[in-house]
Structure 1
Amino acid sequence: MEKFEQIFKYVNEYAEKLVEANGLDYLEALLQTLEDTLDGTFEWQVEGANKEDMRKAIQIAILKGMRKSAQPNHQMTPDTLGLLVAHFVEQCFEHRLQHGPIAVVDPALGTGNLLFTVMNALNGNVEATGVEVDDLLIRLAAATGDLIEQPVTLFRQDALEKLLVDPVDAVICDLPVGYYPNEEVALDFELCASEGMSYAHHLFIEQSMNYTKDGGFAFFLIPANLFESEQAKQLHKFIKGHAWIQAVIQLPENLFASKAHEKSILILQKHSEHLKAPREVLLAKVPNMSNREALAMFFEKVSMWREGNDQKR
């Protein structure tokens, strides 16, 4: 049994007992389990377990809870996508990371799995902030961060309202897809729909640019049909005025339950007077993740793209 499976076994058994004894929802029981672990009420020992083992174990438990939950906003970014985002963050900040940590914000934190995957992959080179409106999800993220010893500053609020966040080097975000209900707040955005309700995923892109430093990057998991909607023309115009598209990466279809759920990775770089537009926009498709040879060739292509994309004026 893998170490993360051993940890999950301990955590799951304790959470199930809390469900049975107290009539809790599984996710609430899991939160209690993590908090009890932190304060020493519940103890387990798996020799040689590391931060990734702990993160994976908690992720499996959260996924179990989400399958039982009726809450539509209880969803998680899968590891595979998180690791791909981490790779692109590392590529885009390869030289910068040699001089210290980068500041990163996830404005749609959820339970933190995407952010913590990136933090673990970059091994201490991230100063992180997360924003999440759902109380249960942000408490799960806080407990996970403490247990895997990844420091993160958390804000519980609507991420499309004014944030108490300084501009960051990078935004990472699995965009919440759908209509944004607060039309009054949406009026403050360039991407506010001229008629009807605005797309939340468009507003998150604009808000991310608001909190990105000049020359900084944003790494979005986007719906594969993002640029095909009736509001796509407005989005194109906004992006052209504020950022350079660095890459659009199509993800393997077999990672998603249906075509409607398919996603891509969009990498934007905020305009800077000290930089010029990239020589080449990377348009690529990630091969089947089980094809190691094709995957190695894909990552080699990414490396060559970054090396050939000198943006200095």
Structure 2
Amino acid sequence: MEQTKVETAFQWLDKTTELIQQQMNVPYLDSLSITLSYMMGKETLEEQNDLLKQQLEKKAKELNIFQYEKEVLRKTIQLATLKGMKDATQQQHLITPDTVAMFIGYLSEKLIGKNDHVRLFDPACGTGNLLTAVVNRLSGNKQAYGSEVDPTLIQLALMNANVQQLDIEYFHQDSLRPFLLEPVDLVVSDLPVGYYPDDVQASQYELKAEEGHSYSHHLFIEQGIKYAKEGGYLVFVIPNFLFESEQSSQLNRFLHKHAHVIGLLQLPLSMFKLEKNAKSIFILQKKGRATNAPKEALMAQLPSFKNPVAMNKMLDKINQWFQSENGNDE
């Protein structure tokens, strides 16, 4: 039923976006942002001609997008974003796969439990797909924050949250610079992988490279820990080679000093075209006066998300782990 709703909503969203793309001669992702903005307020831009305005009014009558649940809308926007990113040449125009976003939502729920008030932050939120997936999964009152430097992506993130009617505050800035942000209970992020070009800013970090450019994925881990509360949790999507680089010993020392390693779950290799691009889910807890390392870290190689039997067995094992560690099996 949900799949049918997603397909119907996507067809409408895609055709409307293509209409704007053709008439205004702007890239698909920018056209998608205009479409989402139009859906929210039925406002048209000055540069839209009368024909396009009439066509948009006609399209608006075809479908009431607000009849759909938040998760249907999130998945619909994700599909349109993925289509736009196929033609995008910029490396940062990537999106966290839906199965991974939903799985991180499940893990976040297990870590946080039934909390009346949760503050969460994604310092590299992109289009907001991972952040909104986690927000939709958690119960209680949620204050969510995201940061993104890319103007196209943060505009999509804002529209994504608005269409789902989620209250998320976004920072449009270099995410490795300081934030006006109180510490949060949960940090989630699909870490950008590569070198950070600003050596002056990188010099403020413990994980700065001793020579040359620093790894942005290392600095994002440190930034996440900085803005987490004592005892707060962090769930990162990391490259599998994270602990094999020439700076890995420095990272290990930093993590031993500041965090407890809760778990490492390797994503199915079948998800990646090349093994060198494979990733894992890395779970940390920021050290505090009342925190302790787990009796045994949660380590596993996840089966294919397309194999429901194997996946259910894995979820049973993970649930048992949470139950045995701290009784957080709600």
- Look up the match of 2:50: none
Cα distance in 1 for residues equivalent to 2:209 and 2:133:
34
Cα distance in 1 for residues equivalent to 2:308 and 2:11:
30
Cα distance in 2 for residues equivalent to 1:88 and 1:9:
31
Alignment of 1:60 onto 2:79: yes
- Look up the match of 2:111: 92
Aligned residue among 70, 79, 99 for 1:51: 70
- Look up the match of 1:7: 9
Deviations 1:138-191 (A, max 9, x none): 011101100011110000011111111110001000000000000000000000
Deviations 1:245-284 (A, max 9, x none): 0001011011112112110000010111112221111111
- Look up the match of 2:246: 230
Following superposition, the deviation at residue 119 of structure 1 comes to 1.3
Aligned residue among 71, 88, 92 for 1:69: 88
- Look up the match of 2:29: 27
- Look up the match of 1:81: 100
| Kept after mapping to 2: 8 A contact 1:6/1:46 | no
Cα distance in 2 for residues equivalent to 1:130 and 1:73:
16
| Kept after mapping to 1: 8 A contact 2:265/2:298 | yes
Alignment of 1:155 onto 2:171: yes
| Kept after mapping to 1: 8 A contact 2:116/2:140 | no
Cα distance in 2 for residues equivalent to 1:271 and 1:218:
11
Alignment of 1:117 onto 2:136: no
- Look up the match of 1:257: 273
Following superposition, the deviation at residue 46 of structure 1 comes to 5.6
Extract structure 1 runs of 4+ deviating beyond 6 A. Answer: none
Cα distance in 1 for residues equivalent to 2:86 and 2:287:
41
Identity of aligned residues (%): 39
- Look up the match of 1:173: 189
| Kept after mapping to 1: 8 A contact 2:116/2:139 | no
- Look up the match of 2:202: 186
Alignment of 1:139 onto 2:139: no
One-letter code aligned to 1:127: Q
Give the CA RMSD over aligned residues.
1.5
- Look up the match of 2:297: 281
Q: 1:123 to 1:54 in 2, by over 3 A?
A: farther
Q: Secondary structure at the match of 2:325?
A: coil
Q: 1:124 to 1:78 in 2, by over 3 A?
A: farther
Cα distance in 2 for residues equivalent to 1:134 and 1:256:
25
Query: Aligned pairs, how many?
Result: 308
Cα distance in 2 for residues equivalent to 1:48 and 1:153:
24
- Give 5+ residue unaligned stretches, structure 1: none
Q: Secondary structure at the match of 1:222?
A: strand
Cα distance in 2 for residues equivalent to 1:113 and 1:81:
10
- Give 5+ residue unaligned stretches, structure 2: 44-55
Q: Secondary structure at the match of 1:2?
A: helix
| Kept after mapping to 2: 8 A contact 1:251/1:285 | yes
Deviations 1:78-101 (A, max 9, x none): 11110111111111112xx2x413
Cα distance in 2 for residues equivalent to 1:47 and 1:149:
10
- Look up the match of 1:300: 316
Cα distance in 2 for residues equivalent to 1:132 and 1:46:
26
One-letter code aligned to 1:10: W
Following superposition, the deviation at residue 236 of structure 1 comes to 0.2
Q: 1:287 to 1:125 in 2, by over 3 A?
A: farther
Q: Secondary structure at the match of 1:225?
A: helix
Following superposition, the deviation at residue 124 of structure 1 comes to 5.6
